[in-house]
Amino acid sequence: MIIVTSTTVVRHVILLGLTITIELSRKNLTKAKGQVADSRNLSIRDLLAVQAAFIKKGGGNLNDVSLSVATVSRHRRQNREEISNQVREKFVKPSFVLIHWDSKLIRYLTGKKDERVAILISGKPTLEHPKFLGIPVIKDSTGTSKHNAVIKLLDEWEVTKNVVGMVFDATASNTGRWKGCATSIESTLDRAVLWLACRHHMYELHVKHVAEEIVGERNSPSESLFDLELFDYNVCTEMQEIANEVVIWGENHLEKETFPREDYRELLELTVLFLGGTVYPFKFRKPGAHHHARFMAYFYLLLSFLRKIMPTFIAVFHSRAFLRSRLSSIAPSMDLKYLTDMNIYAKEDTEAAAVAIKSVLNHLWYLTEEAVVFAIFDKELPVTLRQEMVKKLYSMPQPQRFVPQKPIFPRIDPSNEVDFSEQLLSCICPRSWLLFDLLQVLIYWDKMIGYQNVEKQILSMEVVNDCAERGVKLVTDFKDMSKDEKEQQYLFQVIEDYRNRVQT
């Protein structure tokens, strides 16, 4: 039963013989449900209907409570601003910050269009989840416009001095040598930071280029459907061995259920199934959006309907690399292994392998002088090799100042078999000290505190830009809830805060 008094709404619930009393201020009735309503994209009228049903079902009188659209709207705006301010007040700056950003052209129901950029920071262990700073409107998608928005929010949240790296999609507007967003940010900071191209985006580009070689350029944004056909093990011995390794690795992770996203689980299930492994229980799912920008678009239709050539490339070579790409410490060695695997793939499809090799050589972000030192913390590499890397690093003079500049890719001859030890060691140069300069520590070896501190930082680094993509998805889903730009930014903070606190 619900009793409405002059100041409160009291709900008495009898459960298992016990009476539970829920008391809410009449003025806070909207506030109590406001954050949930915002996160569920409920309109003001929908929220009004929920509140009315809540009171009426309990036997209360609607005439005793103010439930006008204007009142609920006013309370909702006040609640958003209040929660947003609380989020700001509780925010604790991490010692080391990575910046993430991604932009998209947003279309509203009114027909209006805006270019927006989602800007977040990550910094474990202080920030358990990447922290959303804002999704401001920018005048265009150029690097300059994105740079201005990023710097403005970094200053507002007072984290500019804590930035040690940038995570971005490897597009021209981000990586351009003169006017790219990353270039401009580093110039404004007036110091060198780590350039960490999104590893998911890198591997999406690899498979995109191979797909265009195998399937052909497309004029339509969606793929056609193909006949069911499983992996043919009548291939070279090396490919058979890799396929068997992927099946064992995939079945192991399916059993452990270690997936940050459900679509990654589906990718692994289909990969194992295609290669002849066992997945139980298994069901085909409805394919999602099929646009050109993301690898999963190729995967869902080309692999879900199992055409032979492209799914073979994805299942044998690509799925495992893509799913492990978020692991920062293995990034340098994994890119070298992918390059080696493409030489094996060339025995089956020379043209497609050549396209993949070219794509890899265009994105050697984690084999640059600055990032190759991640491999020192790669426990899949021999201890002796990692010790040799540290030894070579200490033989290099540590620069007094690191000049801000776009990283330079190493030269690798893809026609020869890649020697992991030689290649990783050859990439160690004076600028390899940058990581340790930014983190303000010295390293010795794995039992030393300095090493362990850096290892924790490296392993916790978000080297994928998924959080920025979720920011773009956030504005896409909630863009029409408010026309006021300031209130929209409050709204986004409210939704992020709710999602971090309540896992649904």
**Same domain, yes or no: 252 and 298:** yes
The Cα–Cα gap between 161 and 370 comes to 20
Q: What is the CATH number for 190?
A: 3.30.420
Q: Domain check: are 247 and 128 in the same one?
A: no
Q: How many CB atoms are closer than 10 A to CB 39?
A: 18
Q: Return the closest-CA partner of residue 185 out of 159, 158, 160, 151.
A: 151
Q: In the structure, how many helices (H) and strands (E) does the chain have? A: 21, 9
**Number of domains the chain contains:** 3
Residue 376, both tokens: 């020192």
The domain boundary residue, chosen from 68, 89, 110 = 89
Q: Is 12 in a helix, a strand, or coil?
A: strand
- Same domain? For 190 and 217 the reply is no
- Domain range enclosing 477: 93-198+465-501
Domain co-membership, 281 together with 356: yes
Q: pLDDT at residue 432 above 70?
A: yes
The CA-based diameter of the chain, rounded to the nearest angstrom, is 83
Encoding tokens for residue 440?
């303000």
Mean pLDDT taken over the chain:
83
Q: Which helix (H) or strand (E) holds 118?
A: strand 113-122
Residue 155 shares a structural domain with residue 269: no
pLDDT at residue 214 above 80?
A: no
Handedness of CA 281, 285, 288, 291 (dihedral sign): positive
Write out pLDDT tens, residues 449-472: 667 778 888 999 999 999 999 999
Judgement on whether residues 116 and 152 belong to the same structural domain of the protein: yes
E runs forming strands in 344-492 = none
Q: Does one domain contain both 66 and 113?
A: no
Q: How many residues does the chain have?
A: 504
Q: Looking at the structure, do residues 147 and 9 belong to the same domain, yes or no? A: no
Same structural domain for residues 140 and 238?
no
pLDDT in tens, 245-263: 888 888 887 877 766 677 7
For residue 162, give Cα distances in angstroms to 90, 93, 270, 337: 18, 8, 41, 33
- 1 pLDDT band, cuts 50/70/90, is very low
Question: Considering 55, 71, 89, which residue would you say is the last residue of a domain?
Answer: 89
229 with 374, same domain: the answer is yes
282 with 300, same domain: the answer is yes
List pLDDT tens digits, range 389-421. 999 999 999 999 999 999 999 999 887 777 888
Residue 223 near residue 338 (C-beta atoms within 8 A): no
Per the model's pLDDT, the better-predicted residue between 278 and 113 turns out to be 113
